[in-house]
A and B are shown apart, each in its own frame.
Chain A
Amino acid sequence: MKLLSSIRTFLAFVFHRSRVEREVEDELRSHLESRAGDLERQGLSRAEAERQARLEFGGYERYKEECRDALGSRLLGELLADARYGLRVLRKNPGFTAAAILTLALGIGANAAVFSVVSAVLLRRLPYTDPDRLVWVTEFWPRLNNTVVPSPDYLNWREQSQVFESVAAYSGFGELNLSGSGEPERIDGIGVTWNFFPMLGIRPALGRGFLPEEDQPAGSPVVILSHSLWQRRFRSDPNLLGKVITLDEKGYTVVGIMPESFRFPGDWSPELFAPSRLPLKADWSARQLAMVGVIARLKPGVSLERAKSDVLTINLRSDKAISPPFAKMRVGLQVRIVTLHQHLAGDARLVLLILLGAVGFVLLLACANVANLQLARAAAREKELAVRAALGAGGWRLAKQLLIESFALAALGGVAGLILGAGGVALFRRLGPHNIPGLQTAGFDLWVFVFIAAITALTGIAFGLAPVFVASRLHLEEALKEARPSAPAGRSAQRVRGLLMVSEVALALVLLISAGLLIRSFVRLTSVDPGFDPRRVLTERIMLPLGKYSKPAQQAGFFQDVLERVEKLPGVESAAAASSPPLTGFMSHASVELEGRLMPPGTAPSTPVCAVTPSYFHALRIPLISGRYFTPYDAASAPFVAIVNEAFARHSFGDADPLGQRIRLGGSEGNWYSIVGVVQSVRHLPVGTDPTAEVFTSYLQDPAPYMTLLVHVISEPESLAGVVRSKVQEVDPNQPVYDVATMEHRFSEAVAPQRFNSLVMGIFAGMAVVLAGVGVYGVMAYSVARRTHEIGIRMALGAQQHDVMRLVLRYGAFLAVFGISLGVVGALALTRFLTGLLYGVKPTDSITFFFVSLVLAGVAFLATYLPARRAMKVDPMEALRYE
């Protein structure tokens, strides 16, 4: 009832404000008239009666106000009036308003952009049914220093687990050559268990999911296509269902098409899904164990801890069925279960939280700057405020007025920030590295708007409090007097201003040091010598289907044929191929044994082995240290030879000469190879890791179906990509090439996350320095303006120009040094959060700290020097007359 009538009066007020006002007015007036009438009848004169009636009534305006209050309309009325007044004030000071809005827009815009990404990557729920119960289950093998799940473990969990509603897995189906209908293409495919899609709660948009009987080692060959592949390769042909497509020269029946919105739960997007065809029973003695990724759905109410202990129990039980050498590898095995969401966000989480912190700092700086502007203006408005106070405005009423003005300013800044923020998000999406999953879905969602509204309001309060504080110290009589060089309010405002400047310098320094550390890491990372020359090298990958090229000689023959054709192309200096060249993210390992130091089976260290063509080392400019490179005569019929890198030589032979030594690759059935050369080590991914031992074989003696072509060209490697592809298809028209890129591009992609981090942090730090510089300048310039009179007196009394200069600079230097010290302390406390993002630089790197402090001190000096110079030029006569 009460609420209803409140709402009614409120609405009545909003829509018929003037009517409600008029009615109140009418009623009070009618009272006065009636009373005056009565008094007149009692014998008073008309004028006397009216006066008496007013006296008896009491404060007319006050009661009218109280009536509005009782109607619940006063607050809103004042709010509207204040907002209107505030906007008028802002319009009358376009310079101040523009500066403030721009500053706020920068701060709010940067926050909006970063928060959009945070919202998309960290806050948004995964696009699956009831995603909170989906978990990522994996095992960490301390002996292998790796996290993998062998399929038997998965099968046991699926069979025995008490805590999971369902357990599904995916396994590398690998990349497949799709041929027929148009240019052959390499498609990223993945094998999933039949319950994979049902567990996520996703149904194909067309057709059906996999059947349990298809997901068996002998199941019929079926595939489901992603929406994008269906659109691109098959022009969204609805009749594709039930048809057979050719993958790696084998036929697969298409049974379903995924919906367009489906996103695979990983940081890559496979376009082809096939049944995993894992064995039905856990069998640890199988010759090859598939490694799987496991996603499970917890039963309602099951905690991660309980799930972990359940899985651990199952593992311990199954350990008994494992043969001793393999069981030894399982010593110390850890089970790790995290929510799927957390698993997918992965490393991006740290980066995003750090960036969010950084933009928070930028916003604080923006607030400090606007507060500064407000203070300077509040001083100019002292008289206006004093007059208002003298006319009866209470302290709270004045404070509210000032706060609402600030809110109006913040709101305008928020709107401008929204626009800047939209640009920022677009920039993030363009520049962001691929390892931030879901980055491409970032945009302004509801959360972002709520966030922006919240920070806009907070900003309004943050910088709105400064003038309120000053106004609260207002001394009426003082303020109403004519010009006073330093009123008490002025002094407290000056203290607030000094404090703002100190905190601005400190905040900017923390950001600048963070950016400095990240940039130094990036520079270190990119200036690491990779051990080869990535310039002018075009790379294209080829994966021969084993169905067609089953014999090693066929594989070697194919590549030989292709290379001969490519080498003849104009502009090509040399053409080579290798099974696992650097920066492709692909390595194949084999056990390597030294002659005379044979080890028990299964215990020989596994070392990367790369099959290469003779010109490989030349194409990548990898220097020979001793011995010789491969030649075309190192063919299948010749004695088997190997080249090792320096790391391998040092590790395996120490100071002894490796040349002429023999090694066996691939266990007891493997071949023996004589070492004929030692080459310099190269670094593999991730960029920056130290080179590890590596063995090279001649591809004629040790062919592989997967090779990367490396074409060293005279100039502009990109331009040859198409020609090289056409040469490959001259040899086999059904053979696609994929992952075409120059080596330099691969390198740039490999350091993209670090580049992104240092770039974004650099931008924020740049904004911070500009804001801080402007802030310091504002404080100093204002201080000089306030002290013009004092300076005039000093000069009249004989102070020299440089004395005045020193006076101003000393004040500025004091604040700057204070701010920098505070910033260094803050940075020491905060930079350790960056540790995970740094390379070759300690979070407390003294060089960075020193130089960055120096840079900021320079900026602060400049921002102080300019006003100081103005102070120096004060004409004492002018200054004194100014009074």
Chain B
Amino acid sequence: MDTTAQILPGTLDLLILKAVSLGPLHGYGVLLRIGQISNGALLIEQGALYPALFRLVRQGLLKATWGTSENNRRAKYYELTAAGRKRLREETEDWNRLAAAIGAALEARPEET
């Protein structure tokens, strides 16, 4: 069985927020962090990360600052804003509710209908 999964549309933003919530990261770092926290189970096309990052910055959920990376290169670091933290909390709750609901729905047996 395939151990990787395509991520659901709309969940990339949530993953990014989660990844950044653990500490400021540059773009490539976000990718690595997502791979790390999902044990490599989630596949994203790497390029798709950047439009999402820019969108989140524009929505005021992330803050971007230019800094220097570990290998001494100029890099843009992303960190969570207060609004981003709030959104992450809300979306996590929503996701859990949804996941529980879908899970329960899929568990349903014929006699329960």
Interface residues of A (CB under 8 A from B): 1-2, 5-6, 9, 23-24, 26-28, 30-31, 33-35, 37, 56-60, 62-63, 66-67, 69-72
Contact = CB atoms under 8 A, between A and B. Distances in A.
B28 A35 contact: yes
Contact of B48 (A24, A26, A63, A72): A63
Given A5-B57, A71-B58, 13 more contacts: A2-B59, A6-B58, A23-B76, A30-B69, A31-B50, A34-B71, A56-B46, A58-B45, A58-B47, A63-B47, A70-B51, A70-B52, A72-B58
Contacts, number: 70
B95 interface: no
27 contacts: A1-B60, A2-B59, A6-B58, A23-B76, A24-B50, A28-B47, A28-B50, A30-B26, A30-B28, A30-B73, A31-B28, A31-B49, A34-B69, A35-B28, A56-B45, A58-B45, A58-B46, A62-B47, A63-B47, A63-B48, A63-B50, A66-B48, A66-B50, A70-B52, A70-B55, A71-B58, A72-B58
A57 B46 contact: yes
B109 interface: no
Contacts of A28: 47, 50
Given A67-B54, A70-B54, A58 B48 contact: yes
B27 interface: yes
Given A2-B58, A2-B60, A35-B46, A69 B51 contact: yes
A429 B64 CA distance: 62
Nearest to A26: B74
A1 B82 CA distance: 13
A11 to B, nearest CB: 14
A455 B74 CA distance: 51
Contacts of A70: 51-52, 54-55, 58
Nearest to B60: A1
Which 9 interchain pairs have the tightest Cβ spacing? A63-B47, A70-B54, A66-B51, A58-B47, A58-B45, A34-B28, A70-B55, A70-B51, A57-B47
- Quick one: which of B49, B50, B71 has the most chain A CB within 10 A? B50
B75 interface: yes
B47 A60 contact: yes
Contacts of A60: 47
A28 B57 CA distance: 16
Interface in B56-112: 57-60, 69, 71, 73-76, 83
Contacts of A9: 58
A58 B49 CA distance: 11
Interface of B: 26-28, 31, 45-52, 54-55, 57-60, 69, 71, 73-76, 83
A1 B28 CA distance: 27
Chain B facing A: main interface SS: helix
A30 B55 CA distance: 19
Contacts of A67: 50-51, 54
Given A58-B47, A63-B51, A30 B58 contact: no
A63 B59 CA distance: 19
A27 B31 CA distance: 13
A6 B58 CA distance: 7
Contacts of B76: 23, 27
- Quick one: which of B52, B57, B58 has the most chain A CB within 10 A? B58
Nearest to B29: A34
Contacts of B49: 31
Contacts of B26: 30
A14 to B, nearest CB: 16
A30 B75 contact: yes
Nearest to B58: A5
A49 to B, nearest CB: 14
B60 A59 contact: no
B50 A27 contact: yes
A60 B51 CA distance: 12
Contacts of A27: 27, 50, 75-76
Nearest to A73: B54
A71 B56 CA distance: 10
Nearest to B50: A67
A228 B16 CA distance: 77
Contacts of A62: 47
Nearest to B75: A30
B48 to A, nearest CB: 7
B18 to A, nearest CB: 19
A2 B51 CA distance: 16
B51 to A, nearest CB: 4
A799 to B, nearest CB: 62
A57 B27 CA distance: 12
A664 B40 CA distance: 121
A67 B51 CA distance: 4
B24 to A, nearest CB: 15
- Quick one: which of B47, B52, B75, B83 has the most chain A CB within 10 A? B47
Nearest to A6: B58
A26 B54 CA distance: 14
A26 B59 CA distance: 22
A69 B54 CA distance: 9
B13 to A, nearest CB: 12
A860 to B, nearest CB: 56
Contacts of A33: 73
Nearest to B26: A30
A342 B62 CA distance: 60
A825 B71 CA distance: 80
A25 to B, nearest CB: 11
Contacts of B54: 67, 70-71
Given A26-B74, A31-B28, A57 B55 contact: no
Nearest to B59: A2
A95 to B, nearest CB: 44
A525 to B, nearest CB: 69
Contacts of B31: 31
Given A31-B27, A35-B28, A59 B47 contact: yes
- Quick one: which of B27, B46, B49, B55 has the most chain A CB within 10 A? B46
Nearest to A9: B58
A5 B58 CA distance: 6
A8 to B, nearest CB: 9
Contacts of B46: 31, 35, 56-58
B45 A57 contact: yes
B43 to A, nearest CB: 10
Nearest to B73: A30
B59 to A, nearest CB: 6
Contacts of B51: 63, 66-67, 69-70
Contacts of A26: 74
A23 B27 CA distance: 13
A20 to B, nearest CB: 10
